[in-house]
Structure 1
Amino acid sequence: MTTSHGTPTFSAVEGIACASFVDALGHFYDHRLHILDLVSPTPTRRLFGPAATIAFMPYRQDREELNAAGFASCFYRAVGDEPAGKVLVMSSGGHPGVSHGGGTKLSRAHNNGLAGLLTDGRLRDFGQLADYSFSTWCGGEATRWGGDVVTQAAANVPIEVGGVCVLPGDYLYADSAGAVVIPAARVWEVIAEARRIEAEEDAALVGIREEDPVSLRSTQSSYDEW
């Protein structure tokens, strides 16, 4: 495991559930940092890594210059010179029900060693995505190409995903329960707090297993007298 003075890798969060991260973040921040209703072609494969962001916007036929950069340009600007281990995070651009990519153009994430891909939009080609080395989480599977509805607009900028602000460099964690955005400045503190919470819950399980039903039945609230 990487030390708390370096960059956390997946081994640093092994065994921690998304819910524990959400509880831990609540001890540091009041704003929302969790994302729900995501699916994956490989739902048992968890995701963790720093965010590289691409903002999508609704397509404008009368402004083709806005689409000139293309996905490849945005991808390489987002992931930078050290793409390995990063999570590509894409906003839905106001259209979560359409495709934001598929197995062909997203093969770049596999070729460059990314840890994951996360979007609240839909993706095509779940079969292909399942075979890649990275973990994928999205709003659902699509069949139709969506480039005439949304288009990539900017890389390495703050984006909104599932009602949450994601900044480049934030850490993303996702499992079958959902995803969570962990601000980079406190990532080690949040990991430590999440592990403390899970240890408390493990202890509570032992306490529940050993509790005395007879004594607990004798504890009465005022509602019992109604």
Structure 2
Amino acid sequence: MSSDHGADYATTAARLGCAPLVDAMGRLHNHRAHILALSSPDPTRPLFGPAATLAYLPYRDDLPQTGTGFGELFYQAVGDDPAGKVLVLSGGGYRDVSHGGGTKLSRVARHALAGVLADGRLRDFAQLRDHGFATWCRGEATRWGGDTVMPFAADVAVEIAGVCVTPGDYVFADTAGAVVIPRASIERVLQEAAKIDAEDAASVARIRDEHPPP
């Protein structure tokens, strides 16, 4: 993804919003791609970018991966070109448990990622808001969750609310919900979503002019 194309894609996606993108995915693909509305420290910030995935699993103290830690897996996930990516955190079966907070996720700001999509709760909403990136998750948490879920693998396919997300898929989220778009389909989906948006506008115009039957 060139930076120019990425900026153009992000601008177009934000203008269209989640619903037309979901409808476009429905026209072009047969699999589930939509995620219902999530929470955000700042709902005015839409989220868009290619996915960098990090899989959580239920905590176990006997697995060597537990010693790897979030930081090492974060860098494995985002790779050598992290700017503009979306860090996607799977739920590990515990959507109501904290998967991170302002301290761990300060890496997202430091490396200029677009933001975070988490299928779990996050701590420190005020701090996350101040970091300046877009964050969408299951809600704010107060308690640390490291004894319940653990980051286990990076740069792998993950499941978010019944949707498969593979590294490099495009992710968009706003107040309506979220959608996951295959990388190879992004231009077609954006074009189809623009057509849907225009069709909807034309329908609204016709409805305004219609009259009830006599």
Same fold (TM over 0.5): yes
The structure-2 alpha-carbon separation of the partners of 1:88 and 1:3, relative to structure 1 and needing over 3 Å to count, comes to: closer
CA distance in 2 between counterparts of 1:151 and 1:191 reads 35
Alignment-derived partner of residue 30 in structure 1: 30
**Cα root mean square deviation, aligned:** 1.6
Alignment-derived partner of residue 93 in structure 1: 92
Tell me the TM-score normalised to structure 2 length: 0.95
CA distance in 2 between counterparts of 1:70 and 1:204 reads 52
Counterpart amino acid of residue 103 in structure 1: G
Displacement, 1:65?
A: 1.6
Identity %: 56
Query: Counterpart of 2:150 in 1: which secondary structure?
Result: strand
Number of residue-to-residue matches in the alignment: 212
Alignment-derived partner of residue 209 in structure 2: 210
Alignment-derived partner of residue 48 in structure 1: 48
CA distance in 2 between counterparts of 1:3 and 1:147 reads 36
Tell me the TM-score normalised to structure 1 length: 0.90
Give the number of the structure whose alpha-carbon radius of gyration is greater. 1
The answer to whether the 8 A contact 1:79-1:88 is kept is: yes
More helix by share: 2
The answer to whether the 8 A contact 1:50-1:171 is kept is: yes
Equivalence map 1:49-64=2 (5 Å): 49-61=49-61, 63-64=62-63
CA distance in 2 between counterparts of 1:70 and 1:135 reads 23
The answer to whether the 8 A contact 2:18-2:179 is kept is: yes
| Gap regions ≥5 residues in structure 2 | none
Counterpart amino acid of residue 195 in structure 1: A
Counterpart amino acid of residue 133 in structure 1: G
Counterpart amino acid of residue 183 in structure 2: A
Alignment-derived partner of residue 224 in structure 1: none
Displacement, 1:111?
A: 0.5
Equivalence map 1:96-115=2 (5 Å): 96-115=95-114
CA distance in 1 between counterparts of 2:124 and 2:23 reads 34
The structure-2 alpha-carbon separation of the partners of 1:209 and 1:134, relative to structure 1 and needing over 3 Å to count, comes to: same
Counterpart amino acid of residue 98 in structure 1: V
Deviations 1:26-66 (A, max 9, x none): 111111101114100101110100000000011012x1522
Displacement, 1:15?
A: 0.9
The answer to whether the 8 A contact 1:18-1:180 is kept is: yes
Alignment-derived partner of residue 171 in structure 2: 172
| Gap regions ≥5 residues in structure 1 | 219-226
The answer to whether the 8 A contact 1:113-1:133 is kept is: no
Query: Counterpart of 2:28 in 1: which secondary structure?
Result: coil
Query: Counterpart of 1:99 in 2: which secondary structure?
Result: coil
